[in-house]
């Protein structure tokens, strides 16, 4: 084998060193980008967890509000039912009062007629 001249060998070593530096720099940049991506993924996962928690909170609040709304609707329905019952009671009382008034008028008329027959 022939001995490699010093100049070409130095050039090859220089090129290899530059290639190693380029690869190292490229690997460092890639590693930095991967770290940045990992940080973004972590931030997104944290944000997603916060959104999930907020979503669960909103669902719980909605469930509570729906229950309260249902309770209010039931109370309103009961109040209307009670009002209707009171109206029916009032109607029955008024009808009974009218029937008694008619009966009283008839009794007064009969009493007057009796008094006239007796000459009073």
Residue 6 has pLDDT above 80, yes or no: no
Report the predicted TM-score, pTM, of the whole model to 2 decimal places. 0.48
d(CA 111, CA 106): 8
Classify each residue of 92-105 as buried b or exposed e, where b means 16 or more C-beta atoms within 10 Å of its C-beta. eeeeeeeeeeeeee
For 35, counting Cβ atoms within 10 Å of its Cβ (0-12 exposed, 13-18 middle, 19+ buried), the class is: exposed
Classify each residue of 8-20 as buried b or exposed e, where b means 16 or more C-beta atoms within 10 Å of its C-beta. eeeeeeeeeeeee
Average pLDDT, the chain: 88
């Amino acid at each position: 084998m022939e001995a490699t001249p010093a100049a070409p060998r130095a050039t090859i070593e220089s090129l290899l060193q530059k290639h190693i530096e380029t690869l190292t720099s490229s690997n460092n940049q890639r590693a930095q980008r991967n770290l940045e991506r990992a940080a973004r993924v972590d931030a997104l996962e944290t944000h997603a967890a916060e959104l999930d928690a907020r979503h669960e909170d909103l669902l719980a609040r909605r469930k509570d509000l729906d229950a309260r709304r249902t309770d209010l609707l039931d109370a309103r329905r009961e109040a209307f039912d009670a009002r209707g019952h009171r109206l029916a009671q009032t109607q029955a009382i008024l009808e009974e009062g009218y029937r008694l008034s008619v009966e009283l008028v008839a009794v007064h008329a009969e009493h007057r007629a009796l008094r006239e027959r007796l000459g009073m």
